[in-house]
Amino acid sequence: MGEIFLDYYLKNGNFILAVDCVANAISVGRGDGQKWVPSSVIVSSLMGAL
């Protein structure tokens, strides 16, 4: 579900909210005892924006 918001933020150039979305997803994954890692496409998009 969070990836829908992440895609929206990236497409609209709102990188602060996109980074917040990734941070929240990682945090929730840790809380569930799972490990969530963003895809290379997401990482590349965020890094390219810097």
Could you report the per-residue pLDDT of 4-22, keeping only the tens digit for each? Answer: 888 899 889 898 998 898 8
What is the total count of domains within the chain? 1
Predicted TM-score (pTM) of the model is 0.67
Could you report the per-residue pLDDT of 38-48, keeping only the tens digit for each? Answer: 888 888 887 88
**Greatest distance between any 2 Cα atoms in the chain:** 32
Domain interval for residue 19: 2-49
DSSP reduced 3-state for 34? coil
CA distance 32 to 5: 20
